[in-house]
Structure 1
Amino acid sequence: MKVAYVTTDHPAAEQDDEREIALAAWLGAGIEGSPVSWHDPRVDWSDFDAAVVRSAWDYIDRRDEFVAWAHRVESATRLFNPASVIEWNTDKTYLRTLGVPTVPTHWLVQGAEPGRDLPEWDEYVVKPAVSAGARDTIRTADRDAAAAHAAALLAEGRTVMVQPYIPSVEQEGELSLLYFGGRFSHAVRRHPMLSGVAETRENRATLRDPDDDQFALAERILAAAPPDLLYARVDLVRMPDGEPVLIELELTEPYLFLRDELAAPDLFAETLAEMLKG
């Protein structure tokens, strides 16, 4: 089986240190994987039995083009995750549709007046609904600064999310639970990007067993998510009262922390092989 490992020719892809691990595991499962840039016009996607979106990390500047690409590729071959999932998941307004506990979010759309509409919180996180890697995101205790950033994003035609900063994440961190084909693989504790802790390869993540309430919430979230997912990453934080809540459900191009769990690359590959045969 020939499968495209979908990446990009943008320098961002140089940070993909999971590619060789994944491709080696795929080969062990009888899958010939080839790195392919999603926006390479020379690619005939029908040459592949499937395409798996991995490090297409420059899509954020070209989301409409990326979504159109996903639907086009899906007409030529199987796409993981499906194009409908990519379209839904690349706009964080999906958080309003899951019906599960999430970080409190104040949504601002065109016509809103941030200076008047913002809640009174000790600290704010302000970000666009289409974003990745904390891009165009600020953390501030200054309500006027939060409103000004929100207004600037609105002026660009973007939907804005305003959330309270959760101080407990500086001790607890974020918990990412990784699933392949709906099966739990592993979980890691991560430093949140806005915590002020400098991320290094050594402190980026630590394997951790989810608590019962975290695991139960992750299972509930996946049950509410679209079906037929090759991979899913459920990112949770704890509120000050201890309740776990969803901060993000990563179904498009999440980092999978394959280096952190010995069995994860093979489970990823086996799941892909099973879905290709199904």
Structure 2
Amino acid sequence: MIIEQSYSATRAGARVALVTCAKLPDLDEDDQSLVPALAAAGVTAVPTVWDDPAVDWPSYDLAVVRNTWDYPARRAEFTAWAASVPRLANPADVIAWNTDKRYLRELHDKGIPIVPTRWLDPGDPIGLDDIAGTAAAEIVVKPAVSVGSVDTGRYRLPEQADLAAAHVRRLHDAGRLVMIQPYLADVDTAGETALLFIAGAYSHAIRKGPILTGPDEGVETLYQEESITPRTPSPAERDLAERVLAALPFDRTGLLYARVDLLPTPSGDPVVIEVELTEPSLFLTTAEGAPDRLARAIAERLTGRS
């Protein structure tokens, strides 16, 4: 798959839509840091809600997807919207590929180590007994289309098998593909590592503390809060993230941003849990100069240099 996207801009007074959702009309705090950085680059940034019918998308020189975290329940509508926007970053074909975690199968087929996953379509038998590989172990149940660990739960087998099965049934009843994975307990101490790339180049990394404490309670929320701190990734993590970007069905330089999320394993080798190319938190305020780097990458697209 090749990204075919051209960017145009007025030489003065360029306007960029920073795309969000109705629940965060002014963007989240981290992405708000991008507004003054773009202003310093001579670009006016306007928070815009993706499903607001009053927005005139062609009037913007570029639309940058940021906090559109309400799309999982309306993925088809969201991807259709993306396809209708004339100048979008990341582009619509990237969004269509990345908003369903079945992309992990494709990466696995290319030799990328991912968290072992069982995929359950609606109507498939649940069969949790052998999921985690031992009689007493922990599993994670989550939908293939989701953001921010919403609708995701952690279950100990065999004690909580009934709760896990009920979670699967609830997702299946909503017509959703379910992912079941072993819970990698090293995350409880080491945390998760997210590596951030801007315009294909490594920018910074963060540590995310463990977030899954137990079963999903079915509480409706936009995202779950995370504990975030800066991190220097290990050589193995840097290497795996680079391999992931090389395995994508897109030219990495055509991606305005990318985030590769990794989990530790007992062997010490990291594995991929997600590759975020649609609306990831970029944790701009955790790394000196990160808002300016992203603003510069946007400005370069506006002037046709990238």
Matched, 1:51 2:63: yes
Counterpart Cα distance in 2 of 1:65 and 1:86 = 12
Match of 2:260 in 1: 234
Match of 2:77 in 1: 65
Match of residue 217, structure 1, among 240, 247, 260: 240
SS at match of 1:43: coil
Match of 2:118 in 1: 106
What are the residue-to-residue correspondences of 1:89-238 with 2, within 5 Å? 89-98=98-107, 99=110, 100-115=112-127, 118-121=130-133, 122-141=137-156, 142-195=160-213, 204-225=227-248, 226-227=250-251, 228-238=254-264
Q: Counterpart of 1:189 in structure 2: which amino acid?
A: R
Matched, 1:31 2:51: no
Match of residue 80, structure 1, among 84, 89, 92: 89
The Cα offsets for residues 239-273 of structure 1, whole Å up to 9 and x where unpaired, read as: 11111011111111111111111110110011111
Q: Which moved more, 1:234-243 or 1:168-177?
A: 234-243
Could you state the TM-score of these two structures normalised by the residue count of structure 1?
A: 0.92
Contact 2:20 2:27 (C-alpha < 8 Å) held by counterparts: no
Percent of aligned positions with the same letter in both sequences? 50
In structure 1, the gaps of 5 or more residues are none
After superposition, the Cα gap between the structure-2 partners of 1:116 and 1:180, relative to the gap in structure 1 and judged at 3 Å, is closer
Cα deviation, residue 45, structure 1: 0.8
SS at match of 1:115: coil
SS at match of 1:131: coil
Contact 1:27 1:33 (C-alpha < 8 Å) held by counterparts: yes
Cα deviation, residue 13, structure 1: 5.0
Cα deviation, residue 277, structure 1: 2.2
SS at match of 1:104: coil
Match of 2:10 in 1: none
Match of residue 2, structure 1, among 11, 15, 33: 15
Over the residues paired in the alignment, what is the CA RMSD in angstroms? 1.9
SS at match of 1:68: helix
Matched, 1:244 2:248: no
Could you state the TM-score of these two structures normalised by the residue count of structure 2?
A: 0.83
SS at match of 1:275: helix
SS at match of 1:40: coil
